Amino acid sequence: MNPTRNKLLTPLPWQASNRIGKKRLFAYQHRHVQNSMYPLVSRNINRTPFANLYQCRIRKLSETRVPDASSYTNLVRSFSLARHRSRPKKTSIPADSKLEKQLKTFSAKHSTAVSLKQLLEFGSNPTEMTLLRASVFLHHELPIRLANKAVELENLPCGLSSMPSIMEVRKWYITSFKEIVAFRRPSSLGDDRKFTNLVKEIYERHSGVLWTMAKGVYELKKKYLASQHSLGDNASTTFALEKVFPEVQTFLDNFFVSRVGIRVLIGQHIALHENIDGWVGLICVRTSPSEIARNAVKAASQACLLRYGRVPNVSITGDLDRTFPYIPAHLHHILYELLKNSMRAVVEHHGLDFDGDYPDIRIVIVDREENEDVCIKVMDEGGGIPRADLQKVWSYMYTTAVEDAEEVFDSLESGRHFAHEPQPLAGMGYGLPVSRVFARYLGGDINIVSMEGFGTDAYVYMRALGDSEEPIP
């Protein structure tokens, strides 16, 4: 009979103990570990970083009843490979985990705020090197802003993150983030051209964000009202939802400010490559408020005529010849929203069967050299707004055009997002809130003053110097 096997079958005196002293361990090594099957066990065991592991293995050997030599050999072989198995293996991190880690890393970084004045000075005389520097800046800045929104969209209050449309918007931000991060830092004119083409695709992808976010909020409203209806709470359908979800209002304000910032940076970069006379990217150096007001009147009149068949007259007075550097698209959006609201209010307040002409809607433009702001006032006689409802006009969850809202959101559910179409006259409830975001982005603001039973005055303020930095949330 094999003497080694007999010794292993004989209980050792310290097997009942949970602790193995060093002297007993050495004694066991000398008495039972003298053949070639233990190549890794020696007196140097306590000098290695695996000493504790070897002691555990020795205990395992001493406590094992081996039925045959082959099993015993396998056990010892497994012991001899212990050192290799003890090293942590380099396992590949799942792609989703890597992405989430990248998003959190970039979202923790600080964005770089810019002002209209800085954009104007940087792009006044664009050269190839200037455009390359702009690409390098965007390559650094866009991932931070995109990651911030992607992370934020995953952790929204009131269950908004779980709405299908919100999840779709988040996918757009993640896709754009991945594309920017995967693109190497531009270092040549060829890289600049490729990078510009990439940001053009991103700009187009995000064109429907406003309407899709609106659809997501509408989905939340429907879910909430359905749950209240199932509980028999019919009064809740008329309750102001902005009071039910106050956190949503704050989030949407910050979200749309960030969205405007991203689109301005990308749009400015794309437009600089076109180099149109009188423009610095998106900025027209001689923006004429009166000209933009006339264009906004024309667009709003068409929408009102299509909806009601009648249109109030609009007069424009004040400093009509003054110009200043601004982004015309922002001012057009603001004036269009104010005018279509005024036109709708005038028509509905006086009625479609009103004899004669409707009271004029008046636009007054004030732009003096000594003034801090360029100011535009839009006045109507559309019956005004009740004082209790005045703050609701800034809510993304409030609209006075309930029937129009159903039609608009039905269109959204069918996949239409109005990104490249004329906007509806009313119904979204996003017109004034988003207009105020555009104004505040460049250091301005919008104020509403109303006289119930008579009409409403809207004041638009724009920084004449353009030195106000964007308000990054």
d(CA 283, CA 117): 10
Q: How far apart are CA 138 and CA 261, in angstroms?
A: 12
pLDDT range class, residue 470, cuts 50, 70, 90? confident
pLDDT at 84: 40
Whether 149 sits among the annotated catalytic residues: the reply is: no
- Between the alpha carbon of residue 341 and those of residues 183, 207, 361, 432, 439, the distances in Å are 44, 24, 11, 9, 17
CB neighbour list of residue 338: distance below 8 Å, 6 or more residues apart = 378, 432, 435, 458, 460
Mean local confidence (pLDDT), 302-320: 95
Residue 306 has a CB neighbour count (10 Å cut-off) of 12
Beta bridge partners of 317: 364
For residue 5, pLDDT beyond 60: no
Name the more confident of 407 and 313: 313
- pLDDT at res. 178: 96
Residue 394 near residue 256, CB atoms below 8 Å: no
What integer pLDDT is reported at residue 243 of this predicted model?
62
Q: Given 139, 221, 333, 350, which residue is catalytic?
A: 333
31-35, 72-76, 120-124, 189-193 — which one is most confidently predicted on average? Answer: 189-193
Q: What average pLDDT does this structure show over 416-438?
A: 67
Say what percent of the chain tops pLDDT 70: 70
How confident is the model at residue 410, as a pLDDT? Answer: 61
pLDDT attached to residue 23: 47
Q: What is the pLDDT of residue 74?
A: 47
Interacting residues of 453 by C-beta distance below 8 A, sequence separation 6+: 383, 384
Reported as a single tens digit per residue, the pLDDT across 226-285 is 777 666 554 444 444 556 567 888 899 999 999 999 999 999 999 999 888 899 999 999
**Average pLDDT along the chain:** 79
Q: Walk across the sheet containing 373-380 and list its strands.
A: 314-318, 361-366, 373-380, 455-463, 445-451
- Global pTM? 0.74
3-state secondary structure the chain: CCHHHHHHHCCCCCCCCCCCCHHHHHHHHHHHCCCCCCCCCCHHHHHCCCHHHHHHHHHHHHCCCCCCHHHHHHHHHHHHCHHHHHCCCCCCCCHHHHHHHHHHHHHCCCCCCCEHHHHHHHCCCCCHHHHHHHHHHHHHHHHHHHHHHHHHHCCCHHHHHHCHHHHHHHHHHHHHHHHHHHCCCCCCHHHHHHHHHHHHHHHHHHHHHHHHHHHHHHHHHHHHHHHHHHCCCHHHHHCCHHHHCHHHHHHHHHHHHHHHHHHHHHHHHHHHCCCCCCEECCEEEEECHHHHHHHHHHHHHHHHHHHHCCCCCEEEEECCCCCEEECHHHHHHHHHHHHHHHHHHHHHHHCCCCCCCCCCEEEEEECCCCCCEEEEEEEECCCCCCHHHHHHHHCCCCCCCHHHHHHHHHHHHCCCCCCCCCCCCCCCCCHHHHHHHHHHHCCCEEEEEEECCCEEEEEEEEECCCCCECCCC
Instruction: Name the more confident of 401 and 463.
Output: 463
Q: What does the pLDDT look like over 40-72, one tens digit per residue?
A: 444 444 444 444 444 544 444 444 444 444 444
* Residue 183 token pair: 């693109």
Tokens at residue 384, please?
């005004």
pLDDT of residue 423: 53
Active site residue 340: yes
Q: Which of 341, 349, 350, 377 is catalytic?
A: 341
Query: The tokens of 263 are what?
Result: 């689109």
User: For residue 448, what pLDDT band results from cuts at 50, 70 and 90?
Assistant: very high
Q: Give the residue-averaged pLDDT of 420-429.
A: 52
Token pair of 402, please? 């309930």
* Catalytic position from the list 206, 215, 330, 340: 340
* pLDDT single digits (tens) 370-380: 888 999 999 99
Tally of CB atoms within 10 A around 140: 13
Q: Cα 64 to the chain's mean position, in Å?
A: 61
d(CA 42, CA 30): 9
Per-residue confidence (pLDDT) for residue 406, from 0 to 100: 58
Residue 20 in this model has a pLDDT that exceeds 60: no
The predicted structure's pLDDT at residue 368: 85
pLDDT digits (tens, 9 = 90+) for 386-423: 998 898 889 887 766 555 555 655 655 554 444 444 45
450 against 71, higher pLDDT? 450
Q: What is the pLDDT of residues 145-154, one digit of tens each?
A: 999 999 999 9
Mean pLDDT of 153-175: 92
337 is an active site residue = yes
Of the candidate ranges 4-13, 349-358, 419-428, 435-444, the one whose mean pLDDT is the lowest: 4-13
Q: Which pLDDT score, from 0 to 100, does residue 81 have?
A: 40
In this predicted structure, the answer to whether residue 34 has a pLDDT above a threshold of 50 is no
Residue 405, pLDDT score = 54
Largest CA distance in the chain: 123
Section 277-303 average pLDDT = 95
* β-strand pairing of 373-380 with 361-366: antiparallel
Average the pLDDT over 17-24 and give the result.
46
Respond yes or no: is residue 274 known to be catalytic: no
pLDDT at position 185 over 80: yes
- Are 134 and 172 contacting, i.e. CB atoms less than 8 angstroms apart? no
Of 56-65, 72-81, 98-107, 356-365, give the lowest mean pLDDT range: 72-81
Output the pLDDT for position 412.
Answer: 53
Res. 16: pLDDT tops 60: no
Active site residue: 152, 337, 381, 470, which one? 337
What is residue 32's predicted lDDT score, i.e. its pLDDT?
46
- Is 266:138 a contact under the CB 8 Å cutoff? yes
Per-residue pLDDT, 414: 52
